[in-house]
Amino acid sequence: MLTVGKILKSERIKKNFLLKDIAEEIRIREKYLTALEEDDWSPFTSKVYISGIIRNYSKFLGLNPEKMQAFFRREYARHEDVSFKKRLSVKYLTPQTKKIIFYLIIIMILGFSYYFGYQVKRYLSPPKVEILSPDIKTLKRQDRVRVVGQTEKEAVIEIFGERIYQNEHGVFNYDFPLELGENKLVIEVEGANGRKTTISEIYILKE
């Protein structure tokens, strides 16, 4: 009985193609092509996988892929008891596929390592605090200055024992009363990890 495997093999031989050359060209393991030509479906993982190989193999040989797949479906229907491998064996992977899988694994490992390292660093590091305004530290003819800063939105901010609340972006402000001369502002920030950051700003008020 004429089968898909026999048709493919006959056409390949007629056109003087070697299996190893076809395997390299369409990037399918030679052992898969051999199994296909011998109508041995057991090495494959699914019907869909066989159908894909038949399509690529048929195109390479100049056969009509749709007709070959239709031929395969009819043949498959007569063998509903076909058992496929549950897992794709490494020995059937092409060198190119193995290389792609290797690089994907490396990328995943590097990505996980970077993410894990970033989370550890974030957990162990004290919260960052940045003063956004004012830009100048020497002031004249004013009794107070509004200090605007930014930190982590989960942090706890205290200025002279007073709890200061930030918005959803971590921005906070404080009206700092001034006296003539130097005025020292101390901001204490405690992160969600319990780490603390203390910064000091000096504002000078002149007459």
Tell me the domain boundaries of the chain: 4-93, 130-206
Q: Which CATH architecture group holds 4-93?
A: Orthogonal Bundle (1.10)
The amino acid at 59? K
What residues pair up with 181 in beta bridges, in sequence order? 205
Task: Give the CA dihedral 65, 70, 76, 78, nearest 10 degrees.
Answer: -150
pLDDT at 115: 85
Task: Kindly report the number of other CB atoms within 10 A of residue 142's CB atom.
Answer: 8
Query: Cis peptide leading into 134, omega within 30 of 0?
Result: yes
User: What rounded mean pLDDT belongs to the chain?
Assistant: 86
In the predicted model, is pLDDT for residue 95 greater than 70? yes
Equal CATH topology for 4-93 and 130-206: no
CATH number for the domain running over 130-206: 2.60.40.10
Note if the pTM is more than 0.85.
no
pLDDT at 92: 54
d(CA 42, CA 176): 79
d(CA 147, CA 103): 50
d(CA 193, CA 7): 68
Residue 77 phi, psi dihedral angles, 5° rounding:
-60, -25
